[in-house]
Amino acid sequence: MKTIEGGLAGTRLSCFFCATARAPDLGTQCLACGGSLAAVVDPAAPFPLSVAGFWDYAPVLPVGDARVSLGEGSTALLKLDRLMPGDEVYVKAEWMGPTGSFKDRGSAVAVSAARALGAVGVICASTGNNAASVSAYAARAGLPCVVALPKGTPANKIIQAKAHGAIVLEVEGTFSDAYACANRIQAASPGWANLTSTYLNPYMTAAHATIFYECEAELGEVGTIVVPIGAGPMLDGILQGARLMRDQGLIETLPVPVGVQGEGCAPIAEAFSRGLDHVEEWAPPVTGMPGSINDPLRGYAADGTRTLAIIRAAGGHAVAVSDDEIRRAMLDLGRSEGIAAEPASVTPLAALRRLDHLPRPVVLVVSGHALKDGAAQAAAGAPSLDIDADADPQAVTQAALGHFSQKLRA
């Protein structure tokens, strides 16, 4: 294993729990206490004030000169004018990433870091989106890739990973079982980088700061940011970015973070509602629609505790939403705003409807496209119009108008 010249100058790995620091490497844990790590850039690094694209933020990201890109970042920020007229509520369109989800930001930075640190291959556990993304960036970097997914992962996500040339392992059980499988393989494979998007890869977590940077640049301020969470590294990365901007005097206050889970697997939201300062593994069966965030944290509950601490420190909230609330949010975003998203990705809208008096502007991070899990779409079972192609044109348009009115009333 050979580190590329330049490596990751200006970056340190720091333990979230005990603050022990070391030079960047491919390790996944603190050597002193076993805790999870953060990739910390030089706090004096100049924040880029003139930005045209994702990689203009490189001075404040844990990357070197070996950058792997598929055109990630710079996703649209869309105001919900029809669904919430007169309110300052926006959607960050992370489904516009190269592989259709927010994971592409993390993969771009983590694969770039892996290459700079001399990795010979990459491996990850995933509920689907991370596998699709990591495999694409590994292919772009010329690195072999292995992905472990729980059986029952939506076929479209598996197809993406296979299309990118990854070795795909379908593991019996939940995401936690895939997580353990990937860890065993990586531990026995020197020089392989683990890009599982829990807190195992600090470079991946840090990349999500760019979501906040882009929102702040466009809005001037962000009052609240609402994020789907499994273990929670996207929320953590967003807050890392906000703290860096605050520490450099570029903003005055942090946004209020809201982490959202599904009721069928909600270890972090459960701990928050009970007033606990630690998160326990999810003991009940894992159920519910938002499969890509259904993470029982079995064997790594400390990841949830880290996210819980971040939410509490920033005066935020952790919320669990029901399948019915998710279906309603899917239908409303699709019919009113033209935004078709997978179930986990609409949980921020469902959560917003539960919470009053959140600071504005509010940004909802919609993290993955509907086509990632087409079978789960709430509107998928709606009947098609049965009209002959040579029917009277006015009959066709009248039928369409009637159908449209019915959808809005549904």
pLDDT of residue 1: 42
For range 213-225, the mean pLDDT: 98
pLDDT of residue 98: 97
- Tokens 């509490």 appear where? 312
pLDDT of residue 137: 98
Extract the tokens encoding 323.
């399948």
Per the DSSP assignment, residues forming a β-bridge with 225 are 257, 363
pLDDT of residue 318: 98
DSSP state of 254: P
pLDDT of residue 372: 86
Write out pLDDT tens, residues 157-172.
Answer: 999 999 999 999 999 9
pLDDT of residue 386: 67
Lowest average pLDDT, out of 4-13, 140-149, 225-234, goes to 4-13
Write out pLDDT tens, residues 291-315.
Answer: 999 999 999 999 999 999 999 999 9
Output the average pLDDT for the chain.
Answer: 93
pLDDT of residue 403: 64
Is residue 396 over pLDDT 80?
no
Q: How many CA atoms lie within 13 A of 94 on its CB side?
A: 30
ω into 290 cis (within 30 of 0): no
Extract the tokens encoding 355.
């919470």
Q: Sorting pLDDT into bands at 50, 70 and 90, what band is 394?
A: confident
DSSP state of 319: E
DSSP state of 265: B
Write out pLDDT tens, residues 354-376.
Answer: 999 999 999 999 999 988 888 88
For 194, the enclosing helix (H) or strand (E) is strand 192-194
For 397, the enclosing helix (H) or strand (E) is helix 393-409
Q: All domains of the chain, ordered by start, with CATH?
A: 77-100+204-376 (3.40.50.1100)
Is residue 286 over pLDDT 80?
yes
- Tokens 């066709």 appear where? 396
Is residue 5 over pLDDT 50?
no
Q: Sorting pLDDT into bands at 50, 70 and 90, what band is 4?
A: very low
Cα 133 to Cα 102: distance, rounded to the nearest angstrom? 9
Cα 49 to Cα 52: distance, rounded to the nearest angstrom? 10
pLDDT of residue 3: 45
pLDDT of residue 404: 65
Q: How many CB atoms lie within 10 A of CB 337?
A: 18
What are the helix (H) ranges across 248-354?
267-273, 301-313, 323-337, 347-352
Write out pLDDT tens, residues 327-345.
Answer: 999 999 999 999 999 999 9
Write out pLDDT tens, residues 64-123.
Answer: 988 999 999 999 999 999 999 999 999 999 999 999 999 999 999 999 999 999 999 999
Q: Residues 93, 233, 68, 169: is their CA dihedral positive or negative?
A: negative
